[in-house]
Structure 1
Amino acid sequence: MGVRIERVVTSGSFELDGGSWEVDNNVWIVGDDAEAVVIDAAHDASAIESALGGRRLRAILCTHSHNDHINAAAELGRRTGAPVLAHPGDEVLWRMVYPDREPDGPLADGDTLAVGGAELRVLHTPGHAPGAVCFHAPALGTVFTGDTLFSGGPGATGRSHSDFGTIIASIRDRLLVLPGETVVHTGHGDDTTIGAEAPHLDEWIARGH
């Protein structure tokens, strides 16, 4: 088979600012029969490794470094030998989870990562977190948005290291300019499309979502 997108849903806790919330996370696997990348290794390294089915794991990509998106990354990297890549802007969040371990490499705006004949382009989209990024795969007609954009609006900005005005600018300038038919694969919950979300930008701003 050619390149394809698979979702594994894992469950655990999101912890920040002294609070803890039970969450279900979307873990995305992009690749073909030979190789893959994982986007957001959350909660359960064994479940993610099983879904890989023995394929070579090229990299573990982090949309941001909140604990619920990276807490299985180090273990998955240890098991597979794959590097864990994260944006340096999230260093403070990363260290909350891994105080004694750095990411294996950085992600920067404009970087491209090839897997299974497809290309993922890194878009720096701060707001939910300072180092939040999205991964745009033009040939697959999709963008992986982590917690930057959901079905129904922007990701949360009410906790430390987040900012509403910044996330709105990121969504407006980096995501809503993508083709309307682009499928949005989110960090939690259901898919949406750029075209479905774009008309609601002014509503989000008005309600300070």
Structure 2
Amino acid sequence: MSFFPPDPVIPEPEETESSQPTWWQAPEDELPELLAVSELLAVTDHVAIALVGIDVHREGVQLRVERRLRRKGLPLTEWNELCGAFMGHMSYGGLVDVAGRLRFGVVLADGEKIVTDASPFFGGSDPMIEPKGHTLSRREQGGGGGGSTYSSADHLWLWPLPPAGPVELVMQWPTLGIDETRVKIDASMVPALAARARPYWPR
């Protein structure tokens, strides 16, 4: 007989699967229909930003924005500072400038305006409580590059589905010399496309 008693049986922990609110981001278990859109939003000597497509889900739409950066002869120090500003770590010139940040918003056909800054930090409502109107959330999709180019992307989740009519995408990035710019999107096909979106697995 062993001097030491046997270890107690420790039950396996029961971890419950968590789900994020539908207004936070596009569903990851749903195959969207695609709305073909290709629009330049802004172009400077060093930066280009474009709307490259819209994923239409059953409960919302995700606008896919591509960002491109080119060095175009900048000295290395300035290039590194520009890359930092491009990725949101600092303003161009090395000083943090919250007012100069990249911002997105939309105007719906009924005149409702929504911005991506609608969070408690900027005076918005509790993100865990279902909003009464539309919301627009931004998720940066990483980035990468080298000594002469850099790229990144943003996914803008508009929830719930917009009303019938055009959707106007608005953006600005003062730090990188981009004033407020707008592009109007024909969203007339969104209801029909949303009806065709389907889950990957049966629910």
Q: Shared fold by TM > 0.5?
A: no
Larger radius of gyration: 2
Higher relative contact order (CA 8 A, sep 6+): 2
Which of the five TM-score ranges fits, normalised by the shorter chain? under 0.3
